[in-house]
Amino acid sequence: MKLEEFYSRLSNKKNNVSIERISSEFKELGLENFLMVTMNEEMEIWDSTEKEIKNLATSPRKADIEEWLRPLLNDIEKYKNDNLITMFFSYLPRKNYYIAVEVANRASIFKTLPNLVPDDTSINHMICFEKREFKNILLLSRLIPWSIGAQGLIGYRIYGSDLSFITDLASFNGKPTIFPKPNDLVHFCGNMFRRDTDPYKIKETREIIEQIMKENVFDTELEMSFFLREKIMVPIQEEYEKTEKFIREHINDENCDIWKAEKEQIYTDLVKSNKIHVRWESEKKLFDLVAKYFEDAIFQHRPSWLCPQSLDIYIPSLRLAFEYQGLQHYEPIDFFGGEESFKRRIELDSKKKALCKKENVTLIEWHYNDTITKKVLFNKIKQSGLSV
């Protein structure tokens, strides 16, 4: 779908301005082909995909691909047991993640799964409860799912992106990969969202796919999508369906009251112990990336010369700072105080830039549209004139 047509269909017109900021690059990269695919287009892709799938099942690279996947496959297969309830969830810097980890620590098995790509900073967990641990099973299952308006923790991520987005936005003949439907992975781990309705997410996911393909494991993106689905997503989906069936057979109103009260208590304890203190997800995600490559990175640095303001991220050894610039830095947002606060924020941003220049600190602004990846990070550093 053309971006202009997509704009016209948006019910929330305030997003038009921000989407237009990436429109030129979006079009140049041919990403309109991945936006809001019609049913007729889907049917055409199904037919051609189905023919290719038969060949992929006997791909000459199958053994090499399975070897690449083996460390992850071993962990998933090792604990496959009818007497265990197994769940998978990934790190996102939000309240429910920290509560989920506290619950997962009660499990008989709580593992951090290996990442498939060496420089991926994603954190993926697998948890196995014995069936008698019903309260913890119910609690964890209610902490990690997808919900209206919010992505879930459940599943497995590469470079922070859910596998369902990666496999569905892989390119096949210049268009998104669409496997014949119905299939068990259409709503992977309960994800009811379409993968082709967010230009930002499409752009970010396509960049992540490019990074995966640089591993030279797969000949084509369709091959990548096929094997990630068959070898990783299918077993995870099987465990998800098993868990949901178990919960349906045991859930009642009393159980719901118990898990809600337990969640509130765990959260209260975490707040009291200062284990939950990060408010904005994107800033934390950016810090995690920077800290992976620069060990002396500081989160929310407050030098005396900048008081009372702070630097989102600061690397002392390079005198380099990063500022994550949310939408409120570019246009008035009611949630952030409207027009008056916007004008004040512009003044503070200008003051911060001037003070950084005076103190010989290189300040890099990270626009909220910029993908948080290693490639973008080092490109920005290079563009700033620093050599690392």
User: pLDDT tens digits for 178-187?
Assistant: 988 888 899 9
What is the residue type of 339? E
Q: How far, CA to CA in Å, does 285 sit from each of 68, 91, 174, 325, 375?
A: 26, 10, 30, 13, 15
Domain 281-383 has CATH 3.40.50.720: no
Determine what percent of the chain is predicted with pLDDT higher than 90. 49
* pLDDT exceeds 90 at position 137: yes
Q: Quick one: pLDDT band at residue 353, thresholds 50, 70, 90?
A: very high
**pLDDT the model gives residue 21:** 67
Q: Is 363 helix (H, G, I), strand (E, B) or coil?
A: strand
Where exactly are the structural domains of the chain? 37-272, 281-383
Q: Quick one: pLDDT band at residue 1, thresholds 50, 70, 90?
A: confident
Determine what percent of the chain is predicted with pLDDT higher than 70. 88
H or E segment and range at residue 163: helix 163-168
The more confidently predicted of residues 339 and 376 is 376
CA–CA dist 263, 157 (Å, integer): 24
- pTM for this entry: 0.74
H or E segment and range at residue 17: helix 15-20
* pLDDT exceeds 60 at position 15: no
* pLDDT exceeds 80 at position 75: yes
**pLDDT the model gives residue 176:** 92
Which tens digits make up the pLDDT trace of 333-347? Answer: 443 345 565 676 788
CA–CA dist 305, 182 (Å, integer): 60
Which tens digits make up the pLDDT trace of 248-306? Answer: 888 776 666 677 778 878 877 875 676 665 555 677 788 889 989 998 888 778 787 88
* pLDDT exceeds 90 at position 74: yes
* pLDDT exceeds 60 at position 105: yes
* pLDDT exceeds 60 at position 328: no
**pLDDT the model gives residue 337:** 43
Positive/negative CA dihedral, 135, 136, 140, 143: positive
